[in-house]
Amino acid sequence: MSFLNQNILTWIVLSPFIAALLLIITPPNRGALIRWIALLGAGLTLPLSILVAILYNRQQGGFQFQRDVPWINSLGIQYHVGVDGISVVLVLLTAIIITAGVFASWRVQNRTKEFLALLLFLVSGVFGVFVSLDLFFFFLFYEIAVLPMYLLIGIWGTGRKEYSAMKLTLYLLFGSAFILVGILSLYFVSPQHTFDLLTLQRSGRFSYAFQRIIFLAFYIGFGILAGIWPLHTWSPDGHASAPTAVSMLHAGVLMKLGAYGILRVGVGLLPGGAHTWAFLMGAIATINILYGAFSAMGQTDFKYVVAYSSVSHMGVVMLGIASLNPVGVNGAVMQMFSHGIMTGLFFAVVGLVYEKSHTRDILKMGGFAKRMPGVAVAMTIGGLASFGLPATSGFIAEFMVFWGMWHTFPVLAALSVIGIVLTAVYVLRILQKIFLGPFTEQYHDLADAQKTEWVAITALAALLILVGVMPSPLVNLIRLGLHGFHLNI
């Protein structure tokens, strides 16, 4: 049992990585074998992360399943992994999305092997970030998670793919330059010269002036990935150009890496800095919510609507973090989970609709619900969760975020709530234009989802409702993770 306890996180990180290596040596013409290896590598993480969520000792709390192996002694770098309530939820989210993502890319024909290998490589970086307790490995995994995106969008994307891929990569790596300087500062200023997150958290009494500056570096660095305004412009382009599974993974999980970084490293290690900049974070998050929603209203490309809705919803996450109280932060993590599932569902639907109708132009579509009722139902559930209808996961998350924010900055909370109305407008607009109304005859051979295509959308839509009806397991788990942070009560 202790063997399992110590290594289960490492296996979660390694399982997609090993599958990616296997894919590299698999001959390219064995299509079925390639898909099954990928599914196994990705799917194995799902039972493992459910196991982690079940075995996580709720009485004990704190970081569990820790493993600590020295790597470079002279620099104080160690491979140190462990999860608390927050990371458990995010690991679970990642496992769900990548498994759904492999199903969603079941029909990728062009260079399947490389596509799936890169996707798995990327996702093991994502898992790595969520479980790392050493800032060096945190940064290493972070970079691994960002770079494969360039090739994934550049090769398998659509539209202005080369432009979008380069823009996305440069934006995110520009952010990581700030993160690197921030991490080196922590290392240098800490008395033990260590990268270890727990040691830094326990003993790092950083001066107020230091916290103020370095928090800002982390906020910009991670914030770019979290899509904060005005540094979000890579995200609509990138998500719109990317192939389905990549958009699902990127909007669903990768943007959460940014928010997680701000929470874990920024708020966790530099609480003084976080309190100084809380209003700024809140204000920018409010702009994100409103600006993202307005932009989504103005789009005619289905995928751009969903991409801008991500910008808006990530604003809700950042708003929750900016509230700096337990309810708000809890809501932020809930929103990360909820939005991850929801946007995964959205992009899966966009992919299906595009694959069958060969268009993403909303104005040219209409009445699709007649030919693809299942897809329409899934989209409707996602849309309802998107503007936070009760009994969907979005309701719980947004309610907690706005409640938390109300106690810290009531004005910002009041402004952001307008975002819900705007969300309802654009969600209902696409539902109406695409799925309802008279059927456009030129799409006469349109068909509903088939076989493996069902897996992703059914599972994700069901989860949205399940979490909405029964949120307490997740909420309680997240609450256990909040003890390490210096939050307002």
Which residues would be at the binding site for other proteins (CB under 8 A)? 71-75, 136, 139-141, 143-144, 147, 150-151, 154-155, 161-162, 166, 169-170, 173-174, 176-178, 180-181, 184-185, 187-188
Report the C-alpha gap between 296 and 458 in whole angstroms.
Answer: 25
CB nearer to other proteins: give 2 or 207.
207
CB nearer to other proteins: give 69 or 363.
69
CB nearer to other proteins: give 3 or 188.
188
CB nearer to other proteins: give 156 or 406.
156
Q: Tell me how far, at minimum, the Cβ of 177 lies from other proteins, in Å.
A: 4
∠ CA 256-259-262, rounded to 5°: 150
Question: Residue 230, preceding bond cis, omega within 30 degrees?
Answer: yes
Query: Which helix (H) or strand (E) element contains residue 66?
Result: strand 64-72
Mark 245-276 as b/e (b = at least 16 C-beta within 10 Å): bbbbbbbbbbbbbbbbbbbbbbbbbbbbbbbb
Helices and strands of the chain, counted as H and E runs: 22, 2
Q: Tell me how far, at minimum, the Cβ of 18 lies from other proteins, in Å.
A: 14
Q: Tell me how far, at minimum, the Cβ of 186 lies from other proteins, in Å.
A: 11
CB nearer to other proteins: give 62 or 159.
159
CB nearer to other proteins: give 59 or 73.
73
Maximum Cα interatomic distance, the chain, rounded to a whole number of Å: 71
Q: Tell me how far, at minimum, the Cβ of 143 lies from other proteins, in Å.
A: 5
Report the C-alpha gap between 198 and 135 in whole angstroms.
Answer: 10
- Map 225-293 to HEC letters: HHCCCCCCCHHHHHHHHCCHHHHHHHHHHHHHHHHHHHHHHHHHHCHHHHHHHHHHHHHHHHHHHHHHH
Q: Tell me how far, at minimum, the Cβ of 86 lies from other proteins, in Å.
A: 24
Q: Tell me how far, at minimum, the Cβ of 147 lies from other proteins, in Å.
A: 5
CB nearer to other proteins: give 187 or 346.
187
CB nearer to other proteins: give 175 or 404.
175
CB nearer to other proteins: give 126 or 457.
126
Q: Tell me how far, at minimum, the Cβ of 32 lies from other proteins, in Å.
A: 21
Q: DSSP E strands: which ranges in 256-384?
A: none
Q: Tell me how far, at minimum, the Cβ of 175 lies from other proteins, in Å.
A: 9
Give the single-character DSSP code of 435. Answer: I
Q: Tell me how far, at minimum, the Cβ of 136 lies from other proteins, in Å.
A: 7
Strand bridging mode 64-72 / 77-83: antiparallel
Q: Tell me how far, at minimum, the Cβ of 359 lies from other proteins, in Å.
A: 24
Report the C-alpha gap between 422 and 417 in whole angstroms.
Answer: 9
Q: Tell me how far, at minimum, the Cβ of 208 lies from other proteins, in Å.
A: 19
**Per-residue DSSP letters for 2-30?**
HHHHHHHHHHHHHHHHHHHHHHHHS-TT-
Report the C-alpha gap between 151 and 166 in whole angstroms.
Answer: 9
Report the C-alpha gap between 353 and 258 in whole angstroms.
Answer: 30
Roughly what angle, to the nearest 10 degrees, separates helices 148-156 and 161-189?
170
The answer to whether 152 and 246 are in contact (CB under 8 A) is yes
CB nearer to other proteins: give 187 or 260.
187
CB nearer to other proteins: give 74 or 472.
74
What separation, in Å, do the N-terminal and C-terminal C-alpha atoms of the chain show?
A: 37
Cβ neighbours of residue 73 closer than 8 Å, sequence gap 6 or more: none
